[in-house]
């Protein structure tokens, strides 16, 4: 990163020197952003650069790994939110965030008294004390500001009384009272400006977003009054309580904001660091040269700080006391859709453990903004969300011009209003980004004027104007992080987008931005949507309609957009598919074969789905598919298809169905050492002991591409020097004896024959030679591999059957796989049935059929009637059921079979990676029990529940065998006298008790080693376990 | 067919089957909900009470069995087999799919492959290419193997053909190959880029047996509707005089059994969609190595040899324990 700095120099004569292009640090750049080299490149240029044109970008490359900074969801800042706390108290909270400070102010209604909770005070402060401290000593004025409705007065009375009980009447008294409540920090006890503490807290911390100039507290008072008024409304009317989960009250923090926050902190750290170092330098008495600050700029602070934060995901901003973990994730490269889906993911603000249903539930206000389907199952269900297809997240817009524009449109300034006038009927308060700007007498008029200006492009297109009739407020928002989406503007129910516009779009004269600029389309955020009447289709518009939806399928996100006919499915099925689509194997990117991923799953013959959706075309899934169109017969066959298992046709597998490539990366580093010696790679031995294991090595000592690599094969013939510390005068001339072998061997599963795909030589960050091997393994589907359709219907391969035994249709069509019909009734995935019909019609008429969500009225999805007609035209039954013959007997089946193509995904879970068995094997050192887990060749655990079963059954010998004989048997010497463990003396050939110092009462017995370990551990804690032996 | 109470049925002379039983015996009923009467009645005494012998007789079979070739060209043959049991017809199908040999590449030896397609995938693609070579001229090299076997030590044959693309100096490692070793024929495509291979993909033998449609009288306007209904043009209209017309099944072979003709209201009562049980339309599509008619004769030969094998086994058994003569008959039938 380059920046311009100017530095002051010299001793007596002060000159101002400027230095241009000083590097203060380097900033990782988001791919495909405006600063990225890939920005605005066309497909050919990207191909030349070796990049995939379909890659979504939006991530960072830090230390060689791709990292996404996930979108963070937060409650909106600087807004009043009325809520109930866990004890049922009504609270109003404002999270203030300014450039200088972040604070949270909570108003709490406890036993009818309103108090303010602020971090800086040790206990809640009565609200009237605060008001008095801000200079409003008259209770009457407070009541006036809140509104003269007698009900409000009644509600405020207890608070006023409380204030009187505390003997606070004047500003002075109030401040003194507050002074006693200020939290004292031990280290700054009794230090600077003791008196001003309370005042400065009230000024700077309390509602920090309302700026106070020269102790002019009036705006803050009015703000408090508005809060109180809203609280009282909420007391009187439960509906006035805000919904925390309402999307309009949420802000999404994007990577730009996150990075700017971090950068600001790092920049300030750097400044103070520079100051510290110059101070140190100036303190020194003898300085040879003149001081030049520019020499002391540490450029590492920013570079390293950003790099560390992005690669670890830990955001530590000390100034705002922010410590967040897991902000970044490694980009999922399992499939193309997983990558795209990863970029749209939104992380929740709450921790996942909370068992609350509210934030997890689907909010009606999510419509069109956040995908209703795409959320994980399990603990993060409903908390982690995904953006919809057309969602736009706003960025901060300049406030100044907007404020002056509002004033010129007739907003009466707050300063000119008395408390009485504030809530005068027929006038609306104007709130701008959470601040009270003033009031307006003609709210609708004002709102339409602003909207007109926005459509004309005079103010930013993402500024939202929202008239809240209930609160008598106009909310204007230009802050960042709001979600909004484009809608077609309609005048009196007639859409502004006309036929000729669409023609122009098709020809290419018009782009989406032209629509926006010409005022045909506008962005609405969640709040402003409440002022709009949006018709789903143009034909459904009524005269009151203000907007028309662009396309209903855009309410879904990228992952849910792959599902054909999702609106015919049971909703959880779509959610399951959203999770499974990310595990499907297929193509990752156009440059997938040039990448060096540590683990990559590819399909050998990926296909484009026969039944597509518009979303598929928009995101490019048709170019980077993750599945194959399989002809599916829905019938029972062989009994190996229970519990969702599928029966596969062996010939289909021979032809390449479900075949996949798995590549893994192996890395070797040619290390340099401190004493100038370094590892070396030498020519392999062609004869001798290791010759067989070195077969795959080339003459350069590295495995050659195209070679078959087996377990225990050496893939790099490396040697490292024995002496790594003591310096050597001629590192190059070390004799062979000074090296010891440091070969690396391949540790794959036995029997699997992988191939060395590519070998890459690079250098790592310490400039060591780094050699990477890509190992490829081609797999054919086998028993137990997992497959799934696009409707959340996963199943494993139950059996593989020869084609001649497979049923076949009248035309000789033989299915690729057979699915059990029991998968349908309980899952209710009608979409899958329609996909089958549409696919069948598609193959017979040669046209891709569509199944976009809710697409039937607009022609983005084919209707079943039309599909059936096509089927009939090509000689199939309208129902999609065929006359099928048994492949075994040759006679027809006594049922018509529903058969046709369905897009099937092969999921990454494969038996080969999971299967595991062990007879005897490694043991854990400490307990001498078998190890755990497949990777350590571990044993299979007989757990508590299994043990319970055996006890219940009475199979005591089996328990004995499992839990002791086959696990960790150990022979111990037990002293019958003291009950403690002794030892066996091999010289005397007798057991001896070390406590009794004799071998008189020793018995030999077997017990699990873990038991012996427990006894000894107990003994070490001064607990004596004594064994009492009895004759069995 | 309308259901009639058994009491109202006409008497049937001994030695004949009543018409509905006869239909059930010889036809598959394709109703709108599901096909019925799909199985053949095998038991010889199934109709003994009516004096009809249902046993399988070789001379009957020889008398009734017909093969009519409907279409024959270079790659395709379509012929009817009439008067044959489904099991036998299916046996031919199964043999054609699984047992009639076709030449294909089983093992591929890579000297150098720098294309985007990995070795295994290229080998797989090569294996899918049917080779125009008469397999009868070759002998099996190995016992039928279930899977391509990797020979990790490289070719067991130290590259006898030796295309000597790379001069191996004695110092370098011994030449081994990522191999599905042992090639039987050298293909011109061997070192070519694999893209060119794509266009040669044809698969072997397929068939679709048995289709004939029977029709009850359907008259006048309904007839025309019926003609319109069928998407594949099975029906035609015939004038039967007196201004009456009726639909006939003009092109029964064209029927794809889409069941459009029996869909809706009570069309099922007007049109009876049935299949003749012992009439099979065979379609064999050759991959090009052998003409399709030869393929079928090959299949017959395979079946024949199998039968012979079994008979010999059974004969040896029979000589041992002097078994029933019933078996002999079955074997004789099978042989036919």
Reported in sequence order, the residue ranges of A147-294 that DSSP labels E, i.e. its strands, are: 250-253
Confidence (pLDDT) at B320: 59
User: Does position B272 have pLDDT exceeding 80, yes or no?
Assistant: no
Q: Is B174 on the interface with A (CB under 8 A)?
A: yes
- How would you list the strands of the sheet with B27-30, edge to edge? B35-36, B27-30, B274-276
Kindly report the nearest CA distance between residue B241 and chain A, in angstroms: 32
Which of A8-12, A86-90, A469-473, A652-656 comes out lowest in average pLDDT? A8-12
Which pLDDT belongs to residue A971? 92
Structural domains of chain A ordered from first start = 80-185+194-251 (3.90.1110.10), 392-555 (3.90.1070.20), 560-589+626-658+783-906 (2.40.270.10), 660-725+735-779 (2.40.50.150), 968-1020 (3.90.1800.10)
CB-based contact, A943 to chain B, within 8 Å: no
Chain A residues with CB-CB distance to B39 below 8 A: 891
For the stretch A666-715, pLDDT in tens is 999 888 888 778 888 888 888 878 788 888 888 888 888 888 888 888 88
pLDDT band at A899 (very low <50, low <70, confident <90, very high): very high
| A346/A275: higher pLDDT | A346
| Residues in chain A within 8 Å Cβ distance of B208 | 808-812
Write down the pLDDT at residue A738. Answer: 79
Active site includes A300? no
Interface test with B, best of A658, A892, A894 (most B CBs within 10 A): A892
Mean pLDDT for the stretch of residues A290-316: 79
What integer pLDDT is reported at residue A167 of this predicted model?
81
Contact list, B258 vs chain A (CB under 8 Å): 871-872, 875-878
The lowest-confidence range among A200-204, A928-932, B159-163 is B159-163
Q: Which of B90, B151, B170 to mutate to test the interface with A (most CBs of A within 10 A)?
A: B90
Query: How far apart are alpha carbons A833 and A568 in whole angstroms?
Result: 10
B170 vs A contacts (CB less than 8 Å):
none
Are residues B89 and B209 in contact, defined by beta-carbon separation less than 8 angstroms? yes
Average pLDDT over residues A525-535: 90
pLDDT in tens, A209-234: 887 777 778 888 888 888 888 888 88
A764 Ramachandran zone, left/alpha/beta (phi>0; psi -120 to 50): beta
Residues A1015 and A1007: their CA atoms lie apart, in Å, by 11
Measured between beta carbons, the chain A residues lying within 8 angstroms of B105 are none
Residue A296: per-residue pLDDT: 67
- Please report residues of B whose CB lies closer than 8 A to that of A698: 173
C-alpha radius of gyration, chain A, whole number: 37
Residue A787 has pLDDT above 60, yes or no: yes
pLDDT tens-digit readout, A1000-1027 = 888 899 999 999 999 999 999 999 999 9
pLDDT band with cut points at 50, 70 and 90 for residue A926:
very high
H helices within A456-587, ranges in order? 499-507, 512-517, 526-529, 571-581
CA distance A699 to chain B (A): 7
How many Å lie between the alpha carbon of A867 and the closest alpha carbon of chain B? 14
DSSP codes, A324-374: E---EEEPP-SSHHHHHHHHTEEE-SS-TT---STTTSPPGGGTTTB-SS-
Q: What mean pLDDT do residues A174-194 have?
A: 66
pLDDT of amino acid B175: 38
Lowest mean pLDDT among A68-77, A554-563, B167-176: B167-176
Please determine, for residue A2, whether its predicted confidence score (pLDDT) is greater than 60: no
Q: Which residues of B touch A776 (CB under 8 A)?
A: 118
Is residue B223 predicted with pLDDT exceeding 60? no
Nearest chain B residue to A804 by CA distance is: B94
Nearest to B178 among A697, A708, A895 (CB): A708
* Integer CA distances (angstroms), B218 to A405, A904, A990, B20, B269, in order: 83, 45, 106, 20, 10
Work out the pLDDT band at A17, boundaries 50, 70, 90.
Answer: low
For A156-166, the pLDDT digits (tens) are 888 888 888 88
Is residue B246 pLDDT above 80, yes or no? no
- Of the candidates A684, A802, A812, the beta carbon closest to that of B208 is on A812
What crossing angle do the helices spanning B292-321 and B325-335 adopt, rounded to 10°?
A: 170
Q: Residue A458 pLDDT > 90, yes or no?
A: no
- Find the closest chain B residue to A873 by CA distance: B231
- Cβ atoms within 10 Å of A63's Cβ, excluding its own: 12
pLDDT of amino acid A607:
92
Q: How confident is the model at residue B2 (pLDDT cuts 50, 70, 90)?
A: low
Residue A810 distance to chain B (closest CA, Å) = 5
Main-chain phi, psi angles of A420, to 5 degrees: -60, -45
**Confidence class for position B184, pLDDT limits 50, 70, 90:** very low
Reported as a single tens digit per residue, the pLDDT across B34-73 is 888 888 888 888 888 888 888 888 888 888 888 888 888 8
**pLDDT tens-place string over residues B85-96:** 888 888 888 888
Inter-chain residue contact A808 with B94, CB threshold 8 Å: no
pLDDT tens, B79-123? 888 888 888 888 888 888 888 777 777 767 676 677 777 888 877
User: Of B35, B89, B124, which is closest to A892 when you measure between CB atoms?
Assistant: B35
pLDDT tier, B178 (very low <50, low <70, confident <90, very high otherwise): very low
pLDDT above 90 for A969: yes
Confidence of residue A417 (pLDDT cuts 50, 70, 90): confident
β A744-745/A754-763 pair status? unpaired
Partner residue opposite A875 with nearest CB, options B97, B232, B283: B232
- Rounded to two decimals, the ipTM of the complex is 0.81
Q: Inter-chain contact A878–B232, Cβ cutoff 8 Å?
A: no
What's the number of CA atoms in the CB half-sphere (13 Å) around residue B287? Answer: 23
pLDDT at B57: 82
A686 touches chain B (CB under 8 A): yes
B211 lies within 8 A of chain A by CB: yes
CB contact under 8 A, B118 and A708: no
Mean pLDDT (whole number) for A534-542: 87
- Which helix or strand (DSSP H or E) is residue B253 part of? none
Task: Give the residue extent of every domain in chain B.
Answer: 101-202
**pLDDT of A810:** 81
pLDDT at position B232: 53
Least confident of A498-502, A569-573, A790-794, B15-19: B15-19
Asked if A803 lies within 8 A of B113 by C-beta distance, the reply is no
pLDDT at B33 over 50: yes
**How far is residue B297's CA from residue A651's CA, in Å, rounded to a whole number?**
23
Q: Which of A604, A774, A891 to mutate to test the interface with B (most CBs of B within 10 A)?
A: A891
Which chain B residues are Cβ-neighbours of A811 within 8 angstroms? 208, 256
Triad A932, A938, A941: Cα angle to 5°:
65
The half-sphere exposure of A829 on its side-chain side, counting CA atoms within 13 A, is 25
**A369 or B226: whose pLDDT is higher?**
A369
Q: What's the pLDDT at B204?
A: 29
Q: Does A875 touch chain B (CB under 8 A)?
A: yes
Is the pLDDT at B229 greater than 60? The verdict is: no
How far is A345 from A386, CA to CA, in rounded Å? 5
Q: Which of B40, B153, B174 sits opposite A891 (nearest CB)?
A: B40
Sign of CA dihedral A863, A866, A869, A875: negative
Residue A97 has pLDDT above 90, yes or no: no
Q: Is the pLDDT of residue B148 over 80?
A: no
Give how far B9 is from chain A: nearest CA, Å: 28
pLDDT mean over A107-135: 83
Tens of pLDDT, residue by residue over A275-290, are 888 788 777 766 666 6
Burial of residue A984 (number of CB atoms within 10 Å: 0-12, 13-18, 19+)? middle
Record: contact B121-A661, CB cut-off 8 A: yes
User: Using a CB-CB distance cutoff of 8 angstroms, which residues of chain A are in contact with residue B91?
Assistant: 890
Closest CA of chain B from A585, distance in Å: 16
Nearest CB to A891; choose among B86, B94, B231: B86
Residue A954: pLDDT band with limits 50, 70, 90:
very high
What pLDDT does A439 receive?
84
Enumerate residues 757 to 816 of chain A having a beta carbon within 8 A of any beta carbon in chain B.
757, 776, 778, 802-804, 808-812, 814
% of chain A exceeding 90 in pLDDT:
29
A785 pLDDT higher than 80: yes
What is the rounded average pLDDT of the residues A760-787?
A: 90
Who among B36, B91, B209 is closest to A885 (CB)? B209
pLDDT at B174: 37
Of B86, B97, B110, the CB nearest to A890: B86
pLDDT band at A822 (very low <50, low <70, confident <90, very high): very high
For residue A889, the distance in angstroms to the closest alpha carbon of chain B comes to: 5
Asked whether the predicted pLDDT for residue A560 surpasses 70, the reply is: yes
Inform me whether the C-beta atom of residue B311 falls under 8 Å from chain A C-beta atoms: no
Residues A824-878: tens digit of each pLDDT: 999 999 999 999 999 999 999 999 999 999 988 888 999 999 999 999 888 888 8
- Mean residue pLDDT of chain A comes to 86
- Return the pLDDT at A13: 59
Percentage of residues of chain B with pLDDT beyond 90: 0
Q: Can you give the pLDDT at residue B161?
A: 36
Say which DSSP state B185 is in: S
Confidence of residue B206 (pLDDT cuts 50, 70, 90): very low
Indicate the pLDDT class of residue A660, thresholds 50, 70 and 90. Answer: very high
Angle at B201 between CA B200 and CA B207, to 5 degrees: 135
């Amino acid at each position: 990163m380059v920046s311009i700095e100017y530095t002051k120099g010299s001793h007596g004569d002060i000159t101002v020197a400027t230095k241009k292009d000083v590097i203060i640090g380097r900033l990782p750049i988001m791919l495909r952003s405006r600063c990225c080299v890939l920005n605005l490149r066309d497909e050919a240029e990207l191909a030349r650069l070796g990049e995939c044109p379909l890659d979504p970008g939006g991530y960072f490359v830090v230390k060689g790994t791709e990292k996404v900074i996930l979108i963070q969801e937060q409650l909106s800042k600087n807004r009043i939110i009325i809520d109930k706390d866990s004890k049922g108290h009504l609270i109003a909270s404002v999270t203030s965030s300014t450039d200088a400070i972040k604070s949270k102010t909570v108003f709490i209604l406890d036993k009818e008294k309103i108090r303010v909770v602020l971090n800086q005070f040790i206990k809640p402060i009565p609200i009237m004390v605060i008001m008095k401290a801000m200079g409003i000593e008259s209770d009457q004025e407070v009541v006036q500001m809140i509104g003269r409705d007698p009900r409000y007065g009644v509600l405020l009375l207890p608070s006023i009384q409380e204030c009187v009980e505390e003997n606070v009447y004047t500003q002075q008294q109030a401040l003194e009272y507050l002074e006693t409540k200020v939290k004292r920090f031990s280290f700054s006890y009794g230090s600077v400006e003791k008196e001003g503490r309370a005042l400065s807290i009230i000024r700077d911390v309390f509602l920090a977003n309302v700026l106070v100039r020269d102790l002019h507290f009036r705006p803050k008072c009015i703000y408090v009054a508005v809060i109180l008024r809203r609280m009282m409304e909420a007391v009187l009317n439960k509906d006035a309580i805000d919904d925390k989960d309402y999307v309009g009250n949420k802000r999404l923090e994007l990577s730009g904001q996150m990075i700017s926050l971090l950068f600001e902190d790092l920049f300030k750290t750097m400044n103070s660091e520079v100051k510290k170092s110059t101070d140190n330098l100036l303190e020194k008495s003898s300085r040879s040269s003149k001081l030049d600050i520019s020499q002391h700029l540490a450029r590492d602070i920013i570079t390293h700080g950003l790099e560390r934060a992005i690669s670890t995901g830990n955001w530590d901003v000390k100034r705002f006391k922010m410590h967040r973990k897991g902000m970044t994730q490694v980009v999922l490269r399992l499939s193309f859709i997983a990558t795209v889906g990863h970029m749209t993911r939104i992380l929740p603000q709450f921790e996942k453990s909370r068992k609350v249903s509210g934030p997890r539930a689907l909010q009606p206000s999510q419509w069109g903004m956040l995908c209703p389907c795409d959320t994980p199952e399990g603990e993060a269900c409903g908390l982690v969300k995904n953006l919809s297809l057309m969602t736009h997240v706003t960025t901060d817009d300049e406030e100044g011009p907007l404020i002056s524009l509002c004033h010129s449109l007739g907003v009466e300034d707050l300063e000119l209003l008395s408390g009485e006038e504030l809530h005068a009927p027929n006038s609306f308060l104007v709130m701008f980004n959470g601040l009270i700007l003033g009031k307006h007498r003609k709210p609708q008029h004002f709102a339409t004027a602003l909207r007109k200006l926005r459509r004309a492009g005079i103010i930013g297109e993402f500024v939202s104007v929202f008239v809240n009739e209930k609160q008598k407020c106009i909310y204007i928002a230009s802050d960042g992080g709001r979600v909004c989406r484009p809608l077609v503007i309609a005048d009196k129910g007639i859409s502004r987008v006309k036929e000729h516009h669409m023609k122009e779009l098709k020809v290419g004269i018009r782009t989406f931005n032209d629509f926006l600029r010409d005022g045909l389309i506008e962005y609405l955020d969640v709040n402003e949507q409440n002022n709009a009447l949006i018709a789903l289709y143009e034909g459904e518009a009524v005269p009151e309609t203000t907007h028309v939806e662009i396309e209903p399928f855009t309410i879904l996100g990228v992952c849910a957009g792959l599902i054909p006919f999702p609106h015919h499915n049971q909703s959880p099925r779509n959610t399951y598919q959203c999770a499974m689509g990310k595990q499907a194997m297929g193509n990752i990117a156009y440059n997938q074969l040039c990448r060096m991923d540590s683990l990559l799953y590819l399909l050998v013959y990926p296909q484009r789905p026969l039944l597509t959706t518009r979303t598929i075309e928009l995101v490019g899934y048709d170019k980077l598919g993750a599945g194959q169109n399989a002809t599916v017969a829905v019938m029972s066959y062989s009994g190996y298809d229970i519990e969702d298992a599928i029966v596969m046709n062996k010939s289909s597998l021979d032809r390449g169905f479900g075949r996949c490539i798995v590549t893994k990366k192996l890395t070797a580093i040619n290390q340099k050492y401190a004493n100038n010696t370094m590892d070396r790679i030498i020519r392999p031995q062609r004869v001798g002991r290791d010759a067989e294991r070195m077969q795959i090595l080339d003459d350069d000592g590295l495995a050659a591409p195209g070679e078959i690599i087996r377990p225990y094969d050496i893939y790099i013939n490396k040697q490292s020097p024995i002496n790594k510390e003591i310096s050597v005068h001629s590192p190059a001339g070390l004799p062979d004896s000074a090296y010891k072998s440091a070969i690396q061997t391949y540790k794959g599963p036995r029997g699997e024959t992988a191939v060395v795909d590519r070998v890459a030589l690079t250098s790592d960050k310490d400039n060591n030679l780094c050699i990477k091997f890509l190992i490829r393994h081609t797999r054919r589907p086998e028993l137990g591999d997992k497959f799934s359709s696009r409707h959340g219907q996963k199943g494993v391969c139950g059996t593989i059957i020869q084609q001649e035994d497979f049923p076949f249709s009248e035309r000789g069509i033989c299915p690729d796989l057979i699915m059990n019909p029991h998968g349908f009734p309980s899952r209710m995935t009608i979409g899958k049935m329609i996909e089958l019909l549409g696919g069948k019609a598609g193959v017979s008429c040669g046209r891709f059929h569509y199944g976009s969500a809710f697409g039937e009225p607009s022609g983005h999805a084919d209707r079943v009637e039309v599909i059936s007609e096509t089927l009939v035209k090509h000689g199939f039954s309208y129902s999609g059921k065929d006359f099928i013959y048994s492949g075994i007997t040759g006679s027809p089946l006594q049922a018509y079979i529903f058969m046709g193509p369905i897009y099937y995904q092969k999921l990454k879970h494969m038996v080969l990676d999971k299967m595991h068995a062990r007879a005897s094997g490694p043991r854990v050192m400490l307990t001498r029990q078998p190890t755990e887990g497949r990777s350590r060749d571990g044993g299979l655990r007989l757990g508590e529940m299994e043990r319970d079963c055996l006890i219940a059954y009475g199979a005591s010998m089996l328990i004995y065998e499992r839990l002791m004989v086959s696990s960790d048997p150990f022979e111990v010497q037990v002293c019958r006298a003291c009950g403690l463990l002794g030892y066996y003396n091999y010289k005397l050939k007798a057991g001896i008790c070390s406590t009794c110092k004799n071998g008189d009462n020793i018995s030999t017995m077997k017990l699990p080693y873990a038991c012996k370990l427990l006894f000894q551990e107990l003994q070490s804690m001064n607990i004596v376990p004594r064994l009492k032996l009895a004759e069995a | 067919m309308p259901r009639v109470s058994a009491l109202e049925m006409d008497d049937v002379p001994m030695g004949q089957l009543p018409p509905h039983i006869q239909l059930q015996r010889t036809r598959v009923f394709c109703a709108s909900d599901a096909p019925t009467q799909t199985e053949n009645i095998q038991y010889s005494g199934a109709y003994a009470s009516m004096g009809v012998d249902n046993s399988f007789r070789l001379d009957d079979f020889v008398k009734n069995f017909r093969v009519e070739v409907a279409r024959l060209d270079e790659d395709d043959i379509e012929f009817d087999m009439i008067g044959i049991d489904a099991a036998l017809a299916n046996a031919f199908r199964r043999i054609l799919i699984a047992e009639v040999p076709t030449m294909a590449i089983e093992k591929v030896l890579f000297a150098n492959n720098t294309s985007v397609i990995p070795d295994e995938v290229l080998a797989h693609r090569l294996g899918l290419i049917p080779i125009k070579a008469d397999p009868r001229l070759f002998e099996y090299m190995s016992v039928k193997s279930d899977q391509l076997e990797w020979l990790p030590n490289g070719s067991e044959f130290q590259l006898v053909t030796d295309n000597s693309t790379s001069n191996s100096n004695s110092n370098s490692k011994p030449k081994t190959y990522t191999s599905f070793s042992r090639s039987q024929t050298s293909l011109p495509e061997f070192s070519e880029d694999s893209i060119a291979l794509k266009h040669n993909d044809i698969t072997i033998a397929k068939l679709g047996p048995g289709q004939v449609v029977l029709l009850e009288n359907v008259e006048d306007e309904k007839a025309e509707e019926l003609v319109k209904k069928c998407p594949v043009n099975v029906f035609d209209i015939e004038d039967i005089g007196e201004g009456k017309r009726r639909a006939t099944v003009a092109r029964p072979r064209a029927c794809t059994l889409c069941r459009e003709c029996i869909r809706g209201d009570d069309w099922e009562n007007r049109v009876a969609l049935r299949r003749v049980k012992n009439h099979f339309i065979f379609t064999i599509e050759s991959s090009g190595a052998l003409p399709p008619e030869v393929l079928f004769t090959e299949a017959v030969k395979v079946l024949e040899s199998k039968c012979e094998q079994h008979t010999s086994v059974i004969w040896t058994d029979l000589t041992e324990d002097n078994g029933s003569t019933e078996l002999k008959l079955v074997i004789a039938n099978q042989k036919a």
